[in-house]
Amino acid sequence: MVGGGAVAARHGQAPAQKQAAATPSDQAGSPSALTEDQIIAIVNGQILTQRDVEDRARLFAVSTGLPLTPEIMARMRSQLINQLIDERLKMQEILGRHINVEPEQIAEAIHTIEARNGMPENALRNRLKADGISLTTLIDQLRVQIGWMQVLREDLGVRSRVTPLQITQREQALQNEAGRPQYFISEIFIPVIDPRHDETELSFVKTIITQLRNGAPFPIVAAQFSQDQSALQGGSRGWMQEDNIEPEVLSVIRKMPENAISNPIKVPGGYAIVTVHARRTIGKQMGTLLSMRQAFFPFSSALNPAEPTDQQKLSLQKALHASQTIKSCNEMESLNTSLGNTRPSNPGLQVMERLAPQMRQVVEKIPTGHVSRPLVAPDGIALIMVCSREERNLAQQTPGQIADQLMNERVEQASQQLQRSLRRHAIIKLRPAAKTVLSHG
């Protein structure tokens, strides 16, 4: 999913006034006794209900594939309430500027989420429906994120354009740092409203870390809960040099194994959870860039290897025939289209050295312009064709990549400033139900 808005500015603290949503109450009461339509808070006249909180929690459980136990829900409630309050403020700003998010933009965002997490098309919609969760819960979150980016582009104005001179200056700065380490990291940032009382946020961060270590996908968890603009990219901050990483985070990632999940890292404004995908030296990292195409033969039911169905046997025969007769990547795309595009034909450019070990073993043996043997999985059979291989210095950033990095930095700064302003001027009235929930968070 995509991430909610920040409730505190990164590298700073939210104003103390009108922040009651983050302060636990001592009132008694059981959150389980609340009705779904009970009002939690009123944000500039717009209500937030217990149903909204429960729906968002269930969306997290479904998207990560992990059970939502009462203990986990108790730890998540206060964070969810603050996140939803902030989304209300963002949506009010979006509507106040008459920004319209088109249905096509939301559909594309859902497709991107599915592709990033290896899901077939419509898998996320179907999973939500099967679990009785309204698609509106997901759409509302996506609409806020997409609309918020349009707000930030308006605010940036001429600063939303990166000039050739600025790209050249960044290229020169990178050349001056040649030989120093660089890290490809993803991060989840959880803000702390009151640094004197961060017990609730720390408890929530520990819960998220446990879920990640139990197998929850980092991009989905980051998109759901990270209060940093990188949430839109599943928490990915890309390749970063040491000078651009917070000292508290840098001291941890220098020692971390790749793909491990960090313990809570206290940073200005909140807590960070970090994972390191890869390391390299600035200016030099040779790798193999692959262009591939795939075709997927879906099964109508889960495979039992001891007793394959007639449909599964027929799919294998068709896959074997295709692996022997397909001669071009265009033919692979046409084949995948005829099979329903259950998985995208073009997975995008891939770096062979970063592929999962099993997939890398398969791809390394495929000559360029040839098709793999059928790769059988419980839900279907895949064929992969390697269209091209290119040895490239992966540490050498293109002008486009540098422009994206500069733009992301500006967007993040603009987002922090505007979020602080919205919170400072908001009228947020907590109802007794919210105080009951927060006192048990």
Segment 331-383, tens digit of pLDDT: 999 999 899 887 888 887 787 877 777 788 888 889 999 999 999 988 899 99
- Cβ 347 vs Cβ 263: under 8 Å: no
pLDDT per residue as tens digits for the range 291-308 = 999 999 999 888 898 999
Judge whether 84 and 77 are in contact, CB under 8 Å.
no
Residue 224 and residue 63 in contact, taking contact as beta carbons nearer than 8 Å? yes
pTM here is: 0.59
What is the rounded CA–CA span in Å between residue 429 and residue 208? 28
Contact 9, 416 (CB under 8 A): yes
What one-character-per-residue DSSP string does 126-170 give? HHHHHTT--HHHHHHHHHHHHHHHHHHHHHHGGGGS--HHHHHHH
Distance (Å, whole) CA 140 – CA 5: 13
Q: Which long-range contacts (CB under 8 A, 24 or more apart) does 197-203 make?
A: 197/23, 197/24, 198/271, 200/22, 200/24, 200/78, 200/79, 200/438, 200/441, 201/79, 201/270, 201/271, 202/264, 202/271, 203/75, 203/441
**Pairing of the two strands 236-241 and 181-191:** antiparallel
The DSSP secondary structure of 168-222, one letter per residue, reads HHHHHHHHHTTTSEEEEEEEEEEE-S-TT--HHHHHHHHHHHHHHHTT--HHHHH
pLDDT at 54: 85
Quick check: 14 and 423 in contact, CB under 8 A? yes
Residue 17's pLDDT is what? 38
> Tens of pLDDT along the chain (441 residues)?
333 333 333 444 333 334 443 333 333 334 444 555 788 889 999 999 888 888 888 887 777 766 777 777 777 777 788 888 889 999 999 999 999 999 999 988 888 777 766 677 788 788 788 777 888 888 888 899 889 988 988 888 877 788 888 888 887 777 776 778 889 899 999 888 777 878 888 888 998 899 899 888 888 888 778 877 677 677 888 888 888 899 999 999 999 999 899 999 999 888 999 999 888 777 666 678 889 999 999 998 888 989 999 999 999 999 999 999 999 999 999 999 899 887 888 887 787 877 777 788 888 889 999 999 999 988 899 999 999 988 776 666 678 877 887 887 788 778 878 888 898 899 988 887 665 555 544
HSE-up of residue 2 (Cα within 13 Å, Cβ side): 25
Contact (CB, 8 A) for 56 and 137? yes
User: Within 214-345, where are the H helices?
Assistant: 218-225, 247-253, 310-325, 329-338
In 3-state terms the chain splits into helix, strand, coil percentages (rounded to 5) of 50, 20, 35
Terminal CA-to-CA distance of the chain, rounded, Å?
23
User: What domains sit in the chain, N to C, each tagged with a CATH number?
Assistant: 20-159+418-439 (1.10.4030.10), 164-284 (3.10.50.40), 286-393 (3.10.50.40)
Residue 101, pLDDT score? 92
Residue type at 348 in one-letter notation: G
The H or E element containing residue 396 is none
pLDDT score at 393:
67
* Exposed/middle/buried for residue 358 (C-beta within 10 Å: 0-12, 13-18, 19+): exposed
- The three-state secondary structure class of 106 is helix
pLDDT in the model for residue 32: 43
CA pair distance 273, 202, nearest whole angstrom: 11
Instruction: Give the C-alpha separation, 331 to 325, whole Å.
Output: 10
Q: What gap in Å lies between CA 261 and CA 251, rounded to an integer?
A: 14
Joined tokens for residue 275: 């994972």
Question: Measuring CA to CA, how many Å separate 258 from each of 17, 185, 234, 284?
Answer: 41, 10, 17, 19
CA distances from 79 to 26, 50, 268, 323 (A): 17, 13, 18, 50
The Cα angle at residue 152 between residues 99 and 396, in degrees rounded to 5: 130
What integer pLDDT is reported at residue 285 of this predicted model?
63
Tokens, residue 33:
């006794």
The answer to whether 261 and 252 have CB atoms below 8 angstroms apart is no
Which DSSP state fits 231? G
